[in-house]
Amino acid sequence: MDTPIQQKLMEISSFISKLLRKNFGKGPLSCHAFAKSRFFVLYIREFLSPMEIVLIENKDINNVKISRGIIMKTILTELKGILELEFQQYVGSLYHDWNYLNNTGMITVVFEKEVSSFEPVGQIPEYNDFIDEIERLSILTEKKPDKIEAFQITPKLLLVKRYGILVPIEKALIQNGYEQTLLVTKDKLEKTYLYQHGRFEEIFKKPITDIFVDWNLKDDRSLTYFFLAN
């Protein structure tokens, strides 16, 4: 039997699927919600609109990222209001990212405080090795983060939060209105290093099936997600 929180997560997942369909003209095949501590995470599968498929076939993923990002701002604003009302807790930040080749995506809401009905996060196996590897790759692509936190949302889903990762040139680009260009560039660069140079499969002794990254440029923070195979 479903618990009250499980039932609520299913209802919110259904609402988000309908919201995506309303704004994109097509809904996802599936949308699963997970809630731990301050994190509300949605894992979305099979969600590409006909227009996006054409752009991707023509190797124009950058325009897909930019156009989807614009529409997602409206969706995240509505989601923020719904979740604050539902869980009686203020939302601190929202993140989203998409793997267009796998046709999967993540949406994450970070509440300002822990939500009493959410379970606590679990301890990540090989925690120190995992954090060290995140730090190593961050140094290669940007700089050493001021702080790194890691959380186990499910046995297969790991979440990393980094603080203080922007270098001066990136901050200057943001101030001069190049935020979207910077995000597209950072996305490609970081994922290349995470997939091709990361030692995560060696650390966890399991394949990595999906990696997502998003940034809160205003607060100089980032969320990275790792999906492990069974």
Please check the confidence at residue 175 and state whether its pLDDT lies above 70: yes
> Residue 223 — very low, low, confident or very high, per pLDDT cuts 50/70/90?
very high
Q: Looking at domain 4-111, which of 3.30.160, 3.30.980, 3.40.190, 3.30.70 is its CATH number?
A: 3.30.980
- pLDDT (tens digit per residue) in 181-213: 899 899 999 999 999 999 999 999 999 999 999
DSSP one-letter string for 125-136? TTHHHHHHHHHH
Give the long-range contacts of residues 112-118, CB within 8 A, separation 24 or more: 112/38, 113/38, 113/89, 114/37, 114/38, 115/35, 115/37, 115/38, 115/40, 115/87, 115/89, 117/4, 117/5, 117/8, 117/35, 117/87, 118/5, 118/35, 118/36, 118/37, 118/38, 118/39, 118/40
Residue extents of the structural domains in the chain: 4-111, 127-228
CB 38 within 8 A of CB 111: yes
Two tokens, residue 170: 């990136």
Strand partners, 150: 160
Nearest to 39 by CA among 146, 119, 145: 119
Q: How far apart are CA 94 and CA 170, in angstroms?
A: 21
Q: Does 127-228 match 4-111 at the fold level?
A: yes
Q: What is the mean pLDDT of the chain?
A: 91
pLDDT at 117 exceeding the cut of 60 = yes
Model pLDDT, residue 1 = 42
Model pTM score? 0.89
Pick the CATH number of 127-228 from 1.25.40, 3.30.980, 3.30.1300, 3.90.1720: 3.30.980
The pLDDT of residue 41 is above 60: yes
Per-residue pLDDT of 129-167, as tens digits, reads: 999 999 999 999 999 999 999 999 999 999 999 999 999
